[in-house]
């Protein structure tokens, strides 16, 4: 019996490849009514890495013949291939062929995937000696002493700041931190994030610290840095990837609390996995964001219920205010009434210098996330003294606390669709459906 499991993906199919008697695997995708090209993952049971680039080939097979489909191979911790499934309305058949793969297959009973596979080890640090990577097919990755930047067709999409960023001169140095995304650009080059605004120096573009937590019986705030109770910092690079379908990175972040004599101790270890997809639509950019939490604390850590904390937070550009930006959720809520409600997706958009005049981000929460549909924190139009700056956050502990136990992993998955112009509710629903319920494998030969 084929089992399914997955992420954004196909759930749990392990197809053995590589023996002389099995040089190809044919599978069929379900006829989901998807109107978009979307990433699909098919686990394949490789014994060893492909010997060279192009060792694994994917073809779509039809009555009229076959055509090669670009795919990207992953080998750890779960091996398989990614590809972009084009808009579908009928069953589609594909064939995976290999050359240069080890003859022996992994024996039955290999551990199945359980969502995002856990990542171990402290990873490597990033230094100036590491050179930029040029991607095939339009995505690439650039590393500097300050940041990892992901690009699509030569244009930057986002920068992850691994180096510490200090606040402006004269501001308390407690506000310094690393491990956040800024800038995040629209396809037309508009910067949509903001860091260290004078009203909230602890806001850092796209980031996700926790506000009210209990650590060894003490209340620790990782969000409000001025309290000096805790902070989040970059802890090492675990992986960088560049291929024909996506470019991305996997990094470790340390949630530190300050104990006796102000010594920093680790309360949580978090792995961020970020991917920019080489989708064909040049009007939008597709970004996946996955956060996996672990705690080394013997008694675990309690993330108390609060209106801010964790999930995925976004401080919008300083250009946006109550007169020129909007919010719309999957449940039809707007800035006036969205705060505290739950949603599958939320559109944040506003005035922009691009030719279309507007830009924005569609944030989507995966159905496997805690508290999905996910509660939100949305600043109302009268925020910041009536100016109406925009802050948005998916906040899984908004209404209920969350206890993280030691030796367990907890994963939150999000997808961002970054766009210029406008995005209709129908388009947003299509994107969310493709994220939440991709095509399934319904037959293997």
**CATH at residue 86:** 2.60.40
**What CATH number does the domain containing 196 carry?**
2.70.98
Distance CA 43, CA 6 (A): 9
Does 146 share its domain with 101? no
Q: How far is CA 139 from the centre of its chain?
A: 16
Q: Residue 269 has what DSSP assignment? A: E
Q: Which of 189, 411, 181, 213 is nearest to 315 (CA)?
A: 181
| Residue at which a domain ends, from 105, 123, 157 | 105
Q: Is 336 a member of any domain? A: yes
Answering whether pTM is above 0.85, one says yes
Token pair of 425 as six digits: 């509710």
Number of C-alpha atoms within 13 angstroms, CB side, residue 106? 19
Helix (H) or strand (E) segment spanning residue 429: helix 425-436
- What local confidence, expressed as pLDDT, does residue 32 receive? 66
- 374-378 sheet: strands from edge to edge: 139-143, 147-152, 155-161, 180-184, 206-207, 312-315, 391-394, 374-378, 342-343
- What local confidence, expressed as pLDDT, does residue 45 receive? 76
Residue 7 has pLDDT above 50, yes or no: no
Q: Is 128 a member of any domain? A: no
Query: Coil, strand, or helix at residue 432?
Result: helix
Distance CA 267, CA 98 (A): 44
- What local confidence, expressed as pLDDT, does residue 391 receive? 98
What sign does the dihedral 63-65-68-73 (CA atoms) show?
positive
- What local confidence, expressed as pLDDT, does residue 90 receive? 75
Residue 157 has pLDDT above 50, yes or no: yes
Q: Which domain holds residue 73?
A: 15-105
- Please, which residues bridge with residue 69 across strands? 58
Number of domains in the chain: 2
Q: Residue 111 has what DSSP assignment? A: P
| Residue at which a domain ends, from 89, 105, 121 | 105
Does 163 share its domain with 271? yes
- What local confidence, expressed as pLDDT, does residue 10 receive? 39
Does 329 share its domain with 414? yes
CA angle 8, 13, 16 (to 5 degrees): 135
Does 40 share its domain with 152? no
Does 81 share its domain with 153? no
The contacts of residue 111 (CB under 8 Å, 6+ apart) are none
| Residue at which a domain ends, from 57, 82, 105 | 105
CB 83 within 8 A of CB 69: yes
- What local confidence, expressed as pLDDT, does residue 440 receive? 76
What average pLDDT does this structure show over 228-232? 96
What average pLDDT does this structure show over 205-232? 96
Distance CA 163, CA 143 (A): 11
Q: Is 119 a member of any domain? A: no
Does 171 share its domain with 273? yes
Q: Chain-wide mean pLDDT for the chain?
A: 85
């Amino acid at each position: 019996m084929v089992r399914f499991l997955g992420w954004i993906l196909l759930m749990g199919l392990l197809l053995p490849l590589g023996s002389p008697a099995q040089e190809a695997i044919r599978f069929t995708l379900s006829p989901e009514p998807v109107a978009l090209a979307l990433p699909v993952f098919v686990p394949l049971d490789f014994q060893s890495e492909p010997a060279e680039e192009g060792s694994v080939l994917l073809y779509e097979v039809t009555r009229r013949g076959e055509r090669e489909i670009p795919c990207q191979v992953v080998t750890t911790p779960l091996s398989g291939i990614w590809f972009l499934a084009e808009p579908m309305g009928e069953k589609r058949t594909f064939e995976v062929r290999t050359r240069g793969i080890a003859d022996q297959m992994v024996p039955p009973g290999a551990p199945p995937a359980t969502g995002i596979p856990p990542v171990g080890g402290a990873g490597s640090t990033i230094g100036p000696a590491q050179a930029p990577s040029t991607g095939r097919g339009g995505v690439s990755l650039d590393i500097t002493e300050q940041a990892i930047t992901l690009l699509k067709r030569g244009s930057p999409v986002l920068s992850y700041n691994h180096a510490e960023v200090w606040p402006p001169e004269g501001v308390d140095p407690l506000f310094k931190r690393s491990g956040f995304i800024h800038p995040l650009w629209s396809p037309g080059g508009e910067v949509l994030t903001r860091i260290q605004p004078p009203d909230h120096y602890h806001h850092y573009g796209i980031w996700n610290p926790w506000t009210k937590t209990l650590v060894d019986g003490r209340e620790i705030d990782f969000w409000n840095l001025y309290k000096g109770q805790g902070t989040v910092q970059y802890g090492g690079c675990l992986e960088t990837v560049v291929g024909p379908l996506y470019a991305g990175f996997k990094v470790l972040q340390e949630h530190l609390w300050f104990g006796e004599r102000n010594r920093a101790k680790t309360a949580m270890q978090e792995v961020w996995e970020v991917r920019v997809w080489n989708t064909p639509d040049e009007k939008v950019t597709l970004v996946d964001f996955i956060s996996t939490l672990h705690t080394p604390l013997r008694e675990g850590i309690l993330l108390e219920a609060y209106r801010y904390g964790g999930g995925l937070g976004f401080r919008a550009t300083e250009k946006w205010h109550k007169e020129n930006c909007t919010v719309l959720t999957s449940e039809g809520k707007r800035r006036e009434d969205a705060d505290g409600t739950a949603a599958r997706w939320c559109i944040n958009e506003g005035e922009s210098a691009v030719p279309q005049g507007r830009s924005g981000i569609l944030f989507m929460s995966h159905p496997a996330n805690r508290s999905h549909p996910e509660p939100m924190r949305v600043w109302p139009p009268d925020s910041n003294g009536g100016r109406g700056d925009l802050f948005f956050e998916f906040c899984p502990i908004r209404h209920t606390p969350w206890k993280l136990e030691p030796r367990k992993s907890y994963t939150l998955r999000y997808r961002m669709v970054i766009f210029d112009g406008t995005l209709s509710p129908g388009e947003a629903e299509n994107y969310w459906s493709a994220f939440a319920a991709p095509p399934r494998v319904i037959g293997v030969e």
